[in-house]
Copies of this chain bind each other. A is one copy, B any other.
């Protein structure tokens, strides 16, 4: 065992340094300032571990092992964009970036080495190496193993995965800085982590509208025609994404417009803007020999290539400047709103072996493993700064990320396409400062299509990606009306979503939350709700076991993780239905909840069952909520146009809430604070309600047009 020295790095955050870590790490490459003032407003950070319980030992095969005790029922969440399970207790998680994360190994697009424990602490390894977390998966022989041995022959309690009482983290040879984040609750841990990393991102308002990506080889006139059809059909849309074909050559890319498909890019972007569409550009990091950037970038690139293109060393200032100048000149100055950063997530362990190898070397002295782990972050950061420098917010998509990403204006996506995995990824992203879009592509049938479209309308980035299949919201005529309804509902909820993101930005509160996180925010370190429904047959017992991961004797999961529902902010709960289902169980937090479109009221703190036709998805609003709604406009109005907002109060009691607003596109809010308005609903002696809103602050665009009190469902359009 080595001696460990701690320092307090920020309020409630402690740092342990092991070895002599040098060079590139996720936090150092982003270099964001911790939001110390906001952190100070959190409950006092506490660690449920004593310093002497944390061990460090040198490993013979290189590196060192950090070990922490685990309690019997402790659950371990996070570790990036995991698709296969939520509670990682009992699993070994190998946190390497991987573009094709089909197996449950820990590898993923965003392998964030940050873990959140149900005991109320978090642990971050700030390293550009692929780190392995043994989440109570390695059973030490001397201490706890023999007692757990059971007979698979006859004992039905035999488990393929036993539970060790030790969390072990294998640290790289050159050492690493390890950060411990105090609670007391899991949501406090996550907020502290997000704020330490610079706070959450506040997207531009248009970023929360609907997105559509057109087929890869579309010409400008085809794009405009397809965009116009959204308007004609009354389907809101704010962003049109262009796919590889906008480049003059792609795979590897030029970053230059194809002259045949886009003869006048500036005119195209302008016409799109005039029609209310922002344009987003697909790209990847590998520069074609046909690109004007090639020659200058060549000496600034790694010694291995991808698809014949350069893999630039974006840890180098010169490379970043070349990239930024070209992107500014060719895209940003034309009005392009942002990027989709594809394929920055390769590893060696993929079928096509397309990525540069771990042993690649880069001019800065970094190697391929480090560069692969951080490529996604580097690209996100470069493009963010490109817009920041112009006091414009961007919002886009990235296929790779890592630690410290909460302040970056990017949403993750994947070529995987399992609807349940997509919802689970959304849940898991909330533990790690990540956002995730379960983008919709083709569907097996109209039912699958509708269920996916319903889900995506309640996620950080509501997008249809017709890159390969040309699908459109009206592709299944029998369900066009349902899809239109939910895209319009998304648009109507935009003021609510915007406030939720503002609380992410300022307070580090994840805008979308997995159930364990949502519950810990309510009740800090209390357990999940228990009890039975008071009102009839639909109620079931819920118990802490409902959050447990138990493998049966033949590897089947026997307890439910509730990784198929989530909360948006404090007051909305989304419980998607999946193709083949006509109903589902829903775990409701304490309090009362209304089915948002039927008005049925449920006591919370229990599991309820709902049966819904295809036309509806289960969406719940908390009693006492104040949901600000705007009309289902075609798109977010540009410039200083006013946005009418109606205030919808739910339930039978007075309430207090906030409504955030600002200009919707600049960073002025960072200086002027934006418009935080306290909203108060009071109840007179006779029971009648009245509402009061503070006046709008800097940049405010909202005009409150009316109030509805004591509602049980969202008003129809």
B138–A168 CB distance below 8 A = no
A376 at interface (Cβ–Cβ under 8 A)?
Answer: no
**CB distance B351 to A84 under 8 Å?**
yes
Q: Are B367 and A153 in contact (CB under 8 A)?
A: no
Q: Closest chain B residue to A245 by CB distance?
A: B153
Cross-chain contact B132 with A348 (CB below 8 angstroms): yes
A288 touches B149 (CB 8 A): yes
Q: Known contacts A140-B303, A309-B149, A348-B94; decide if A62 and B173 are in contact (CB<8 Å).
A: yes
Q: Does A51 contact B (CB under 8 A)?
A: no
Mask: chain A, 623-638; 1 = CB below 8 Å from B; 0 = not: 0000000000000000
Query: What per-residue 1/0 map shows which CB atoms of A295-314 lie under 8 Å from chain B?
Result: 00010011111111111000
Query: In the complex the two chains form, what is the Cα distance from A132 to B349 in whole Å?
Result: 10
For A254, give the chain B residue with the smallest CB separation: B151
Residues of B within 8 A of A138 (CB): 304, 356-357, 359-360
Instruction: Given A91-B353, A105-B349, A249-B153, check contact A141 B302 (CB 8 Å).
Output: yes
A316-372 CB contacts (< 8 Å) to partner B: 348-354, 356-361, 365, 367, 369
Q: A103-B103, A173-B62, A305-B139 are in contact. Are A90 and B353 (CB under 8 A)?
A: yes
Residue ID in chain B nearest A105 by CB atoms = B349
Are A61 and B290 within 8 A (Cβ)? no
Contact A303 B555 (CB under 8 A): no
Closest CB of chain B to A276's CB: distance in Å? Answer: 28
Q: Which of A65, A107, A148, A353 has the most CB of B within 10 A?
A: A353
Nearest B residue (CB) for A306: B139
Please state if A308 and B150 are interface contacts (CB–CB under 8 Å). yes
Judge whether A357 and B251 touch: CB under 8 Å.
no
Assess whether A158 is interfacial by the CB under 8 Å rule: yes
- Contact between B251 and A142, CB atoms less than 8 A apart: no
Provide the residues of chain B in CB contact with A602, threshold 8 Å: none
Q: Nearest CB to that of A356 among chain B residues?
A: B138
CB-CB under 8 A from A356, the residues of chain B are: 138-139
A353 to B365, CA, bound (A): 35
| With A90-B353, A151-B250, A216-B153: A367-B61 Cβ-Cβ less than 8 Å | yes
Q: How far is the CA of A137 from the CA of B371 in the complex (A)?
A: 18
- Does A145 touch B at the CB level, under 8 Å? yes
Complex interface: chain B residues within 8 A of A357 (CB): 92, 132, 134, 137-138, 168, 170
How distant is A111 from chain B, measured CB to nearest CB, in Å?
13
Which residues from B are CB-within-8-Å of A173? 62
A162 within 8 A of B: yes
List of B residues within 8 angstroms of A301 by Cβ: 141
Residues of chain A from 504 to 519 with CB closer than 8 A to chain B in the complex:
none
Do A354 and B160 form a contact, CB below 8 Å, given A139-B306, A141-B305? yes
- Are A308 and B162 touching (Cβ within 8 A)? yes
1/0 per residue, CB under 8 A from B, across A147-169: the answer is 11111110000101110000010
Q: Is A104 an interface residue (CB 8 A)?
A: yes
Shortest A345–chain B CB gap in Å is: 15
Asked if A252 is an interface residue, CB under 8 A from chain B, the answer is yes
Does the CB pair A369–B161 fall under 8 Å? no
A160 → chain B closest CB, angstroms: 4
Q: Is A610 an interface residue (CB 8 A)?
A: no
Does A551 touch B at the CB level, under 8 Å? yes
Closest-CB distance, A209 to chain B (whole angstroms): 28
A252 lies within 8 A of B555 (CB): no
Contacts of A150 in B (CB 8 A): 251, 308
Q: Is the CB of A61 within 8 A of B132?
A: no
A585 interface residue (CB < 8 Å to B) = no
In the complex, per-residue mask of A257-289: 1 if CB is within 8 Å of any chain B CB, else 0: 010000000000000000000000000000011
Among residues 208 to 242 in chain A, which have CB atoms less than 8 Å away from a CB atom of chain B?
216-217
> Which among B170, B289, B360 is the interface contact of A359 at CB below 8 angstroms?
B170
Contact residues of A between 552 and 593, Cβ < 8 Å to B: 555
Residues of B within 8 Å of A298, CB to CB, are 141
Residues in B neighbouring A147, C-beta threshold 8 A: 308
Report the Cα distance A173→B60, complex, angstroms.
12
Contact assessment for B359 and A65 in the assembled complex, using a CB-CB cutoff below 8 Å? yes
Contacts of A306 in B (CB 8 A): 139
The residue in chain B whose Cβ has the minimal distance to the Cβ of A286 is B149
Given A353-B92, A359-B61: A244 in contact with B348 (beta carbons within 8 A): no
Shortest A291–chain B CB gap in Å is 10
Q: Which parts of A102-146 form the interface with B (CB within 8 Å)?
A: 102-107, 132, 134, 137-142, 145-146
Interface assignment of A600: CB less than 8 Å from any CB of chain B? no
Is A149 in contact with B61, judged by CB distance below 8 angstroms? no
Cα of A302 to Cα of B306 in the assembled complex, Å = 42
Q: Does B60 contact A365, Cβ atoms closer than 8 Å?
A: yes
The yes or no answer to A100 lying at the interface (CB within 8 A) is yes
Query: Contacts A141-B304, A148-B308, A353-B91 hold; do A61 and B369 have CB atoms under 8 A apart?
Result: yes
A386 to B350, CA, bound (A): 41
A247 touches B (CB below 8 Å):
yes
In the complex, chain B residues whose CB is within 8 Å of the CB of A359: 59, 61, 65, 138, 168, 170
Top 10 A-B residue pairs of the complex, sorted by shortest distance between their CB atoms: A149-B308, A145-B305, A152-B251, A137-B353, A105-B349, A151-B249, A148-B308, A160-B352, A92-B353, A141-B305
CB<8 Å pairs between A and B, sample of 11: A137-B353, A138-B356, A140-B305, A151-B250, A152-B244, A153-B249, A158-B251, A160-B352, A160-B354, A162-B307, A168-B357
Can you add 14 more A-B contacts, CB < 8 Å, to A153-B245, A158-B251? A103-B103, A103-B349, A105-B348, A107-B349, A132-B358, A137-B348, A142-B303, A146-B294, A149-B249, A151-B288, A153-B216, A168-B357, A170-B359, A352-B555
